[in-house]
Amino acid sequence: MSERYTGIKFRTKKLGELLENEQLETYALQLNNVLKSLPEICLEGIAGNVSARIIDGILISASGTSLKNLGVLDDYSKVISKFNDRVVEYYGKKIPSSETKMHQLIYTEREDVQYIFHIHVPNLEKLQLMNRYPITKRFFPYGTINLAREAVNALSSNDTVILRNHGVVVVGKNIDITIRILKQIIKR
Ligand SMILES: [Zn+2]
């Protein structure tokens, strides 16, 4: 389960800073509030990532950050390139999450999705045994297109997917429903 983090696996191009913007701050605060409501054990270390769909791209937590205490906008990047683009183009102080490609593919394939939470839950083994949520068939290293595709396949029939031996992904249209699903999963 403890795959070593070795940085991002795609090319990036910084287009500028992430300037103060009410809409972006509202999304960042929403995401941070959800994270704050989760048990701290879910947010340990440099693991997991969160994002929201915005008008011109996605707002996503930066790579190499802890989800425990994300700064509003300082620890987020705005990605405006598309999934198929070779280079991930972004605004922000820090490089976007190593799982940016997975988030992009989910937003592309699931037009209804507004929020994505990828959390390294402590009860992963139990969840895998329960057989209640779709589980990716194989283990793929983090940040790979294979992992992104596996996740998206499983999400075609559900708003939750377990990434085998890795963590969970929960997606949603509504922040309150998404948080409820997340809390249910962690409690199991
Ligand atoms: Zn992960």
Q: What are the pLDDT tens digits along the chain (188 aa)?
A: 568 888 899 999 999 999 999 999 999 999 999 999 999 999 988 889 999 999 999 999 999 999 999 999 999 999 999 999 999 999 999 999 999 999 999 999 999 999 999 999 999 999 999 989 999 989 999 999 999 999 999 999 899 999 999 999 999 999 999 999 999 999 88
Ligand 1 centroid vs 91 CA: distance in angstroms? 22
How distant, in Å, are the alpha carbons of 23, 73, 76, 79, 174 from that of 30? 11, 12, 13, 18, 11
Domains of the chain: residue spans and CATH:
11-187 (3.40.225.10)
Helix (H, G, I), strand (E, B) or coil at 58: strand
Ligand 1 centroid vs 142 CA: distance in angstroms? 6
56-97 pLDDT tens trace: 999 999 999 999 999 999 999 999 999 999 999 999 999 999
Strands (E), 17-65: 49-54, 57-61
